[in-house]
Amino acid sequence: IIDIELGHLYKRINELGYEVKLTDDAKDFLVEKGYDEKFGARPLKRAIQKYIEDPMAEEIINQSIEEGDKITVGLNKDKSDLQIKVTKGKKKVGKADGETKEPPADDKE
């Protein structure tokens, strides 16, 4: 069930130009936080939002994450919360190598 829910998250994040990966420990943490004996796995979506989506949105707002970056979500050292690690990716450039913004010389004649 968690892989299905995370698949939706991965798709949305990839559409924004980011790559995201969760460690196995992070998945286990989400399962623990997102499972309720009474409600089963229903709270999982809320756990994903609280522990992954909201912190990532804050990072994006604070401009710590840029298009092309890789986001790894893992468990912190004391195993009490998730932490987000951003690996800077290649920025997309508007022009190919060797191209210039100057018009060709024959356009002015």
Q: Where are the domains of the chain?
A: 2-87
CATH code of the domain occupying 2-87: 1.10.8.60
* CA 27 – CA 85 distance, rounded (Å): 15
**Starting at the edge strand that comes first in sequence, how are the strands of the sheet with 70-75 ordered?**
19-22, 70-75, 82-87
- Give me the chain's average pLDDT, please: 83
User: Could you give the CA distance from residue 14 to residue 10 in angstroms, rounded to a whole number?
Assistant: 6
Largest CA distance in the chain: 78
CA distance 50 to 56: 10
Give the pLDDT confidence score for residue 92 in this predicted structure: 54
Please determine, for residue 105, whether its predicted confidence score (pLDDT) is greater than 80.
Answer: no
Report which residue type is found at 67: E
60 pLDDT tier (thresholds 50, 70, 90): confident
- Whole-model pTM: value is 0.73
Among 40-44, 81-85, 88-92, the minimum mean pLDDT is found in 88-92
